[in-house]
Structure 1
Amino acid sequence: MNKNYLKSSILLSFSVCSLMVSAQNNFQQNKQAIYNEIITEVENNSQLENLAFELLDEIGPRLVGSPEMQQAHNWVVDTYKKWNISAENVAYGEWKSWQRGTTQIEMTHPRIKSIDGMQLAWNSNTKKAIEAEVVAMPIFQSKAEFETWTNSVKGKIVLISQYQKSGRPENQWKEHATEEDFTSFKKEKNDDLAAWNNSIKTTGKTTREIVEYLETKGAVGFVQSFYTGTMGSNRIFYSFSKTTPMVDVSLEDYGLLHRLAVNGKAPKLKINTQSKNLGTAKTFNTIATIPGKTKPNEYVMLSAHLDSWDGAQGATDNGTGTILMMEVARLIQKYAPNNDRTIVIGHWGSEEQGLNGSRAYIMDNPTEVQKIKVFFNQDSGTGRINYVGGQGFTQSYNYLGTWLQNVPENNRKHIKTDYPGMPQGGGTDNASFVAVGVPAFNLGTQNWDYGQYTWHTNRDTYDKIVFEELELNVIITTILTLEAANDPNEISNEKRVLPTTTEWPTVKEPKRNSKDY
């Protein structure tokens, strides 16, 4: 070998190593100044409200396969490109494409009244309004009784939900009623629920199967009220009927229709739904990347699902997680773009149908998945981050605990930790990555009545976002990401030994087609 060539190679290698060490030392020496700049930016120039406006008000809900979902993917890519962050939409399957239109529900007998409700996802449109008598599904004592009753539904619209005697939430009963009345209310509520569940069980069918069966018996429409227990809040999912209209209505209007029906007043409804069935559409994940400088083949991944149900705007599930991770990426690109490790941001599709986007990413990118050293996910509403569990990784305390110490005390004081914790088997997208052995942490948040009020409901709207707490989350997540991206140490993915009755979560195949759903 030529001695001059060898000498040049050694000098070049030394120079590269020196640059790598210099870049790393530069961040470590200046990180407090960088963090201060980021905190100032969040306090004075946060883009969260503008991002929320563009995503939630302009685009709206993001049902998988819908034109709005495609619009959201494109918006995320375009927004990142404005910030000089590379991003792309990556297809992994297809889904039925459906677009919500207007829903008009009117009671036409025994009096005229507009009914508060909406069509359920993927339901066929009525083309023209249908008008029919409403009947209530009774409590069945036997399967034979059910079968006899089904012969009476031809030409009728059927109420298929349990009747709620009180529209007041339990907390109001507890606060205002006498102790005796509250106890009586609780007992009656539990007894009514048990009777309803036993009635459904008696039919030998699920509610979905009952609807499909009643269609074959000639029912011309279905009305449900999926009440959450909080006033005005109903869960909005998808239709069980194949060719007839199916709508969800408010507890108050459902109760009115039910009482009229069971008291022999033969109420009538007119239902007019104008949705569009658009065939099928590709499903995507949107992936953005901020390349690392000294360890480009080691990844820190940020995660939030982009899709939502479409009963409202999908604000807290998961608009807040989406704009959180986008704002974190913007701040990093602006103030600290030269990190050791590569930062990847995953905006997943079809999380709501079974973590499909994140599971597809794992299946389709095995090499990249092995490069992920740590993963942060946010998908639990609008509140401040208040819990981080170790997900069963034995050394999680060592690195998470260290990184959290760099978060300002005013932010950090709200956070409870649990090390090493237990691995998460489902619920949100970090579970997909835990299953393949990636230290993948969900950033749990203050509840804000998420489970009853906004999760998958008709009340998950822009106005439910608490931007003050979301700003705290931006600071926490940005600092955790930068700490992870520039930690000079190896980040262990060693798993704990689980109790003998527990197994580590297994990798699951995604649903890549709506026919599998």
Structure 2
Amino acid sequence: MKKTLLLVSAFLIIQISPVVAQESNVVVENIIDEANDNSQLEQLAHELMDVVGPRLVGTPQMKNAHDWAVEKYSSWGISAENELWGKWRGWERGITHIDLIEPRVRTLSGMQLAWSPGTGKKPIVAEVVILPMLKDSSNFNKIASQVKGKLVMISMPQPTGRPDYNWEEFATKESFEKMKSSREKQSDAWEERIKNTGLTYRTLPEALEKAGAVGIITLNWSRGFGANKIFSASTKKIPTLELSLEDYGMVYRLVESGNTPKLRIVAESKELGAVPTFNTIATIKGTEKPEEYVILSAHFDSWDGATGATDNGTGTIVMMEAMRLLKKMYPNPKRTIIAGHWGSEEQGLNGSRAFVKDHPEIVANLQALFNQDNGTGRVVNLSGGGFLHSYEYLGRWMEAVPEEISGQIETTFPGTPAGGGSDYASFVAAGAPAFSLSSLSWSYWNYTWHTNLDTYDKIVFDDVRNNAILTAILAYKASEDSETTSRERSVLPISKRTGEQMTWPEARDAVRAGGID
């Protein structure tokens, strides 16, 4: 009798397996067809980048983005909510207008840094000076008379506005080497100028503010045509303004030549006090193993020099589109599938760290997390993140991905764990299998990462569409897998940087009250 049952069981397994495989192929094919024939990526990008705009934590635009995502998910029949995890300094960017009014009139290209104080009800009209050169830090107090009532330039002017690749293409070798040598000497001299104040780039603006300066002018060139990094201000009462390389250099030369430039500045930012900050969490409930989870991960916030298109608008719309595809083509997943849109990643992975801390039950039962963050390019790297057996399950899931997508991806197994960089690291630190879908550069670091050029027009939708297909298929296969993923860690290698054996990163809580004195 037992032998007969075994034979029958074996026969059923043989008969059922092709059926299961066929069903799996149909789901994958449907995901691909829907992604290619009915993509929502362009519309999502327009609504998020053009309509909502930049998403600096603590700003009304960040809250608008969270509300927009909840509404969008609801329109697809997906449950979503904004989950409170902390509070942040509330601030809203207004109009910035910077005009040269002496020795001639010209409107300059520039903007306030994030969280910079505004100019108040009246514009600031003031002469511009360069940070004085001191013999040593003991002389800092003597510069008050030189900066009081003035706008102070604290950055080195760039000797060329042409990126190095442009010099390599057109300059003679001798000319290129001469420029680099001159720039290096100039950089060393400027570092000495900063060092002799006894302060750092971060603490210098506040010290100049206390010395009576009425504004700080900076240049943080991103080594690409027209690209500046736009980060945060450290002044408390006076505005900090970033000028374009071209205009910074012109004003600097006017000061050097004794032409006494004067600027008129309007900066209409507003302080909003402490405001709540959120993660947006969307959920497709599992049917067989609802207490096990697959997470699609992307940080929602951005810096606000532009609209945060490739950092991380593209990662955001990849995860949203993947969730839409899954809801339509795989509405009853075996495991619960979550999309986590994290707040305040840019200030230290705060949204994801808060989620890990606040939801240990999800982290403990995480089948896999897929994170996308670094730009608009197609995914080209996948690491096992230090999990010893990651190849076994990631390899199984990748088999379902079309060759034209998977063939572009280099894999590293078992790899090493990430200590930071993006939100998957928050989960890795807690021992959960979380993986980065790392993208092709598309000049990300020079042109769009945290710059004034990170806008809709930089998105490469063919690559982003491939990433949405990849993510949806991986999530589907991870959800369906009959096996639970292993969390066994590999023995980590010796660090090339320190010469010591690497250790697994430690989990940290979020900063729950940011920028609030």
1:184 to 2:181 alignment = no
Any idea what SS the aligned residue of 1:208 has? Answer: coil
Q: What residue is the counterpart of 1:108 in the other structure?
A: 101
Q: Which residue of 1 aligns with 2:79?
A: 86
Tell me the equivalent position of 2:237: 243
8 Å contact from structure 1 (residues 392, 422) kept in 2 = yes
1:36 counterpart = 2:19: no
Determine the C-alpha separation between the residues in 1 that align with 2:249 and 2:471.
45
**1:303/1:429 contact within 8 Å kept:** yes
Does the 8 Å CA contact 2:89/2:516 hold for their aligned counterparts? Answer: no
Kindly state the Cα deviation for residue 353 of structure 1 after the two structures are TM-superposed.
0.6
What letter corresponds to residue 476 of structure 1 in structure 2?
L
Partner amino acid, structure 1, of 2:365 = K
**Contact 2:144 2:212 survives alignment (8 Å):** no
Q: Is the 8 A contact 2:366 2:432 kept in 1?
A: yes
Look up the match of 2:492: 498
1:13 corresponds in structure 2 to: none
SS in structure 2 at match of 1:414: coil
Out of 154, 171, 188, the position equivalent to 2:165 is: 171
Is 1:401 equivalent to 2:410 in the alignment? no
User: Number of residue pairs matched?
Assistant: 496
User: 1:138 & 1:449 partners in 2: Cα distance?
Assistant: 36
Q: Does the 8 Å CA contact 1:316/1:461 hold for their aligned counterparts? A: yes
Counting only pairs closer than 5 Å after superposition, residues 5-16 of structure 1 correspond to structure 2 as none
8 Å Cα contact 2:67-2:82 kept in structure 1:
yes
Structure 1 equivalent of residue 454 of structure 2: 460
Is contact 1:245–1:271 with CA below 8 Å preserved after alignment?
no
Pairs within 5 Å for 1:89-488: 89-126=82-119, 127-488=121-482
Matched to 1:364, the amino acid is: D
CA contact (8 A) 1:139 1:196 kept: no
> Residue 141 and residue 179 in structure 1: after superposition, are their counterparts in 2 closer, same or farther (change >3 A)?
farther
Deviations 1:250-294 (A, max 9, x none): 000000010001111110000011112111210001111111111
Query: CA shift at 1:406, angstroms?
Result: 1.1
CA contact under 8 A between 1:88 and 1:288: conserved in structure 2?
yes
In the TM superposition, residue 403 of structure 1 has moved relative to its aligned partner by 1.1
Aligned to 1:47: 40
- Alpha-carbon distance in 2 for matches of 1:88, 1:25: 39
Amino-acid identity (%): 50
> TM-score scaled by structure 1?
0.93
CA contact (8 A) 1:135 1:261 kept: yes
The CA distance in 2 between the partners of 1:138 and 1:174, in whole Å, is 34
Alignment partners' CA distance in 1, 2:311 and 2:416:
24
Correspondence for 1:62:
55
- The structure-2 alpha-carbon separation of the partners of 1:296 and 1:141, relative to structure 1 and needing over 3 Å to count, comes to same
Q: Residues 495, 78 of structure 1: CA spacing in aligned structure 2 closer, same or farther, 3 A cutoff?
A: same
SS at match of 1:53: helix
Structure-1 residue corresponding to 2:509: 509
Native 8 Å contact 1:101 1:274 kept in 2: yes
- Say which SS state the counterpart of residue 347 (structure 1) adopts: strand
- What per-residue deviation string (whole Å, max 9, x for no partner) do you get for residues 295-337 of structure 1? 1111011100111111100100100011100000000000111
SS in 2 for 1:254: helix
Q: Secondary structure at the match of 1:164?
A: coil
After superposing the two structures, state which structure 1 stretch, 365-374 or 82-91, moved more. 365-374
Separation (CA, whole Å) in 2 of partners of 1:150 and 1:199:
16
Q: CA deviation at 1:110?
A: 0.4
**Secondary structure, counterpart of 1:239 in structure 2:** coil
- Letter of the 2:154 counterpart: I
CA distance in 1 between partners of 2:421 and 2:140 (Å): 35
The one-letter amino acid of 1:393's match is F
| Cα-Cα RMSD | 1.6
- Structure 1 residue 28 displacement after superposition: 4.0
Kindly indicate whether the alpha-carbon contact (under 8 Å) linking 1:24 and 1:486 is maintained by their aligned counterparts in 2: no
Q: Which runs of 5+ in 1 are unaligned?
A: 1-21
